[in-house]
């Protein structure tokens, strides 16, 4: 995948940017800052891969940056800088911005809207040309990378998932679940978590880790 991004960014630099000023903006889906407390490798992996791509392109440190995008309103702070906030904070802009949504592999809503609508509209306001390389989608370079990863691990022990433990629709919510639901506004749960609890019951839902921590904190405060 490093080769994919390198080649696609290089095409833009050679055919559209040419000798004009530019900046490559690597962006990835943001995560709550809580991820830092539990040493989630995702953040470092995004930055490391961005640096590897920039090195392969021969970019100077001033030619690229890392930003984050697509955060949700769940009542928790997210990793920054947000890509739109970054753009607004700049006092001097190059002639071209090349947006590289490095954590995504297909053209879906968080690329087609967050980048191709929001970022592009802001670039128009700023008088800067917007560029985005195509996403891998079904590109052979992505398929080859996936196949190579599978081949690398195919001799390892197979681990099974058990979705039936969390997807029984007939499980009724308990009194505890109903109590949690009555406090969801205060807890600021994501809507999908509220619906899961309402449908299946708190004890039958594998909660996102940050939600578990919020509930534990709430329980301590009420004692």
What ranges do the domains of the chain cover? 1-131, 163-222
CATH of 1-131, one of 3.90.76.10, 3.30.460.10, 3.40.50.1820, 3.40.50.1400: 3.40.50.1400
Whether the upstream peptide bond of residue 81 has omega within 30° of 0, thus cis, is yes
Per-residue pLDDT of the chain (223 residues; tens, 9 = 90+): 899 999 999 999 999 999 999 999 999 999 888 777 677 788 899 999 999 999 999 999 999 999 999 988 766 788 899 999 999 999 999 999 999 999 999 998 899 999 999 999 999 999 999 999 999 999 999 999 999 999 998 888 877 665 545 444 444 555 655 565 565 555 555 666 666 667 666 666 665 555 566 666 666 666 6
3-state secondary structure of 59: coil
pTM: 0.71
Q: How far, in Å, CA of 18 to CA of 12, rounded? A: 8
CA atoms within 13 A on the CB side of 205: 23
């Amino acid at each position: 995948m490093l080769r994919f991004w390198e080649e696609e960014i290089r095409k833009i630099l050679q055919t559209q940017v040419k000798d004009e000023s530019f900046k490559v903006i690597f962006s990835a889906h943001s995560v709550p800052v809580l991820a830092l407390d539990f040493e989630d490798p995702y953040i470092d992996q995004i930055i490391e891969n961005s640096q590897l791509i920039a090195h392969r392109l021969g970019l100077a440190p001033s030619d690229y940056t890392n930003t984050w995008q697509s955060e949700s309103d769940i009542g928790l702070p997210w990793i920054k800088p947000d890509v739109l906030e970054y753009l607004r904070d700049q006092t001097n802009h190059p002639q071209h911005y090349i947006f590289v949504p490095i954590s995504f592999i297909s053209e879906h809503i968080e690329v087609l809207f967050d980048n191709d609508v929001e970022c592009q509209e802001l670039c128009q306001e700023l008088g800067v040309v917007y560029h985005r390389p195509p996403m891998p989608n079904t590109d052979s370079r992505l398929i080859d990378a996936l196949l190579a990863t599978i081949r690398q691990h195919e001799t390892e022990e197979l681990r099974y998932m058990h979705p039936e433990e969390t997807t029984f629709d007939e499980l009724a919510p308990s009194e505890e679940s109903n109590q949690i639901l009555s406090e969801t506004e205060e807890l600021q749960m994501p809507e999908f978590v509220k619906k899961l609890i309402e449908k299946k019951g708190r004890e039958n839902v594998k909660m996102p880790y940050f939600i578990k921590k919020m509930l534990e904190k709430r329980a301590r405060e009420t004692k």
